[in-house]
Structure 1
Amino acid sequence: MKNILIINGHPDKNSLCHSLAESYKEGCETQNANCTLVNLADLHFDPILHYGYKQRTDLEPDLLKMQEAILNADHLVFVYPTWWGTYPALLKGFFDRVFLPGFAFKYRENSLFWDKYLKGKSARLIVTMDTPKWYYSLVYKSPGHNSLRKGILEFCGIKPVRITAFGPVKSSADKKRQKWLSQVRKLGAELR
């Protein structure tokens, strides 16, 4: 049985992102997958890495549980809005605090290279945005997609990382949003 961990990075649970995360979970459940949905807004943790990596900050119990859930997952799904070209501070803080050296990766001594500790896992990003997708790609060069896919997930060994983006949200009608929810439900049913 495949273990799927869905992480909703939108701080507001009454959001399109929350509905998309729920739709993905509904799709997974049609395949009897072991599927867990976590809303970061429900977790209790300080999202700030106060000392960088020079001094370790003890992880809160919720973050310890998330590390365990990540290790047990075969497939990770991150659902979040694009804000200021990337993702909400809550999601960034989650990565800063959870994807630590020794857990997600480890630099090799006297080397430019590192060991990737999260190999064997795949991921999907489900992203909403108010910018048209073509504009985000051509003009902005997809900074949020690149940061999360290459700078965090692939850096830690997670591959492949697929991206599904929806937008512009602010001008979308309910019919369009229902189509997006259906599309995400189908992705969940395909377990990818």
Structure 2
Amino acid sequence: MTKQILVLLGHPDCRPERFGSALASAYVEAARAAGHEVRRIDLADLDTPFLGGQWEFESPPPPPIQAVQQDILWAQHIVVLFPLWLGATPAKLKALLEQVFRAGFGMAESPRGPVPQLKGRSARLVVTMGMPAIAFWLMFGAHGLLALEKGILGLAGLSPIRKSVIGGVEAIGGQGRLKWLARMRRLGTLGI
């Protein structure tokens, strides 16, 4: 079964020689070869202003952000790849998410709390980091990943949300990187 897949490379530097870009490209190429429809957004190509306050969060976003929203609405599966910076997503990725999820997109408000607006979509989060993955999970509780998983995508109704954590990215060497690229190609082929 083919899917409509949106791949968001959430690294502010999307040059092809960057490992995150290679991971995104491996996923996209394999997904397309398997017959999936794929759209790719590179964070570095977007002009993403920071929100100035609640008044701005409650108003509709500018047209480039609305285009990202339309890609999300189109997608059945969303892949977000990003590096862990200071324990969380890069500031520019967080700014994009704040822009995208403004004015009720993804979560409508009701007297009982947020009402998910993106049910029926799944996601995969792919995070790269310098620390070993086991330290990220055990010592830090994966909080930088959980904020995106539970606090944004989960509240919007995406499920299931799968995670791929690539730890020690500088230490894994060429063979480790090749294994991760092969894994991303498998995931792209399957559309998960």
The gaps in structure 2 that reach 5 residues or longer are none
Q: Find 1:68's aligned residue among 64, 67, 70.
A: 70
Cα pair distance change 1:61/1:10, threshold 3 Å: same
Contact 2:128–2:166 under 8 Å retained in 1: yes
What is residue 20 of structure 1 aligned with on the other side?
Answer: 23
> By how many angstroms is 1:26 displaced?
1.2
Distance 1:128 1:175 in 2: 16
1:52 Cα offset (Å): 2.5
Instruction: Give the Å deviation of 1:55.
Output: 5.9
- Conservation of the 8 A alpha-carbon contact between 2:84 and 2:127: yes
Find the aligned partners of 2:57 and 2:189 in 1 and give their Cα distance: 42
Q: How many residues align?
A: 189
Letter in 2 for 1:180: W
Quote the residue 2:10 is aligned against. Answer: 9
SS at match of 1:157: coil
Instruction: Say if 1:10 and 1:88, in contact at 8 Å, map to a contact too.
Output: yes
Alignment CA distance shift 1:53-1:187 (3 Å): farther
Q: CA deviation at 1:53?
A: 4.8
Instruction: Quote the Cα distance in structure 1 between the aligned partners of 2:95 and 2:125.
Output: 17
Match of 2:52 in 1: 50
Code of the aligned partner of 2:171: S
What is the Cα deviation at residue 59 of structure 1?
Answer: 2.2
1:172 CA drift (Å) = 2.2
SS of alignment partner, residue 188 of structure 1: helix
- Cα RMSD for the two superposed structures: 1.4
Question: What are the Cα deviations for residues 133-182 of structure 1, in whole angstroms up to 9, with x where unaligned?
Answer: 11111110101111011011001101110000111012121111111111
Corresponding residue to 1:107 among 106, 109, 113: 109
Q: Report the 3-state secondary structure (helix = DSSP H, G, I; strand = E; otherwise coil) of the residue aligned with 2:123.
A: strand
| 2:155 alignment partner in structure 1 | 155
Q: 2 CA distance for matches of 1:162 and 1:114? A: 22
CA deviations over 1:15-34 (Å, ceiling 9, x no partner): 21111000110110121111
Identity percentage of aligned residues: 34
Report the equivalent of 1:191. 191
TM-score where L is the length of structure 2: 0.93
Residue 170 of structure 2 aligns with an amino acid whose one-letter code is K
Question: Quick one: distance in 1 between partners of 2:57 and 2:124?
Answer: 32
Cα pair distance change 1:132/1:52, threshold 3 Å: same
C-alpha contact (below 8 Å) 1:49/1:57 kept by paired residues: no
In structure 2, what is the Cα distance between the partners aligned to 1:150 and 1:113? 15
Given candidates 31, 34, 37, the residue that maps to 1:31 is 34
SS of the equivalent of 1:11 reads coil
Structure 1 segments (4+ residues) deviating >3 Å: 53-58
Give the CA deviation at 1:99.
1.1
Structure 1: state its 5+ residue gaps. Answer: none
- Determine the C-alpha separation between the residues in 1 that align with 2:119 and 2:58: 24
Where does residue 80 of structure 1 map in the other structure?
82
Q: CA deviation at 1:89?
A: 0.6
